[in-house]
Chains A and B, each alone.
Chain A
Amino acid sequence: AAGVIQSPRHLIKEKRETATLKCYPIPRHDTVYWYQQGPGQDPQFLISFYEKMQSDKGSIPDRFSAQQFSDYHSELNMSSLELGDSALYFCATGGIGELFFGEGSRLTVL
């Protein structure tokens, strides 16, 4: 069965650079959630989308932005990267209650 695809799986950037993470949902899933998980921490909610519109925002820095496109894939754009942005970024998609998570994109900021 198709799962949630995230790319890239690993990304290394320098401070002040920009990064873009992509999330491809399971077909017919219209909801996307983005989470950030630092080392040894619980996942922190960043932002969510439903039918290409933003549903809600969590602790997402102003340096980050995200959108959901017409084909329902979503992108998380991160600018002016800081060391503290190093984390595992998950997206999750759903349509009828259960969330399916991708395997995450690991961002390392040097």
Chain B
Amino acid sequence: LAKTTQPISMDSYEGQEVNITCSHNNIATNDYITWYQQFPSQGPRFIIQGYKTKVTNEVASLFIPADRKSSTLSLPRVSLSDTAVYYCLVGAPWGNQGGKLIFGQGTELSVKP
């Protein structure tokens, strides 16, 4: 199982770009990288998923280098409502390949005015 390591906390100000990096040195060939956002007492919510290179959607970008041993979630122009805990998960969450999807220690992002 690929273990993930992220910074415990980050601070930012409204309007700034925030980059959160996750290390996953023993990622397997079949593994995808998925980022989730969690607000207190709520279920985690999907942000973005990728396998390699760069993925972008309406809320974030995900950068994955060629060796796939790390990934960086980029949140453009954060707002106060982006204050949350962010988790990267590494695995293959497809039915019979799913098995375990382990949450590591997430990154608590605090956005200030």
Chain A residues in the interface with B (C-beta under 8 A):
4, 30-31, 33, 35, 42-45, 48, 50-51, 55-56, 58, 88, 90, 92, 94-104, 106
- 8 CB-based A-B contacts, threshold 8 Å: A31-B98, A45-B103, A50-B96, A58-B100, A97-B32, A98-B46, A99-B101, A104-B43
Q: Are B41 and A88 interface neighbours, CB within 8 A?
A: yes
Decide if B34 is an interface residue (CB 8 Å cutoff).
Answer: yes
B contact face: mostly helix, strand, loop, or mixed = loop
- A55 to B92 CA separation, bound complex (whole angstroms): 12
Chain A's closest residue to B46 (CB) is: A98
Q: Which residues of B contact A (CB under 8 A)?
A: 32, 34, 36, 41-46, 49, 87, 93-96, 98-106
CA distance A5 to B26 in the complex (A): 34
What separation, in Å, do the CA atoms of A58 and B104 have in the docked complex? 13
- Say how far B73's CB is from chain A's closest CB, in angstroms: 15
A90 & B99 in contact (Cβ 8 Å cutoff)? no
B95 touches A30 (CB 8 A): yes
By a CB distance below 8 angstroms, the chain A residues around B101 are 33, 45, 48, 92, 99
Give the CA-CA distance A52 to B98 in the complex, in Å. Answer: 13
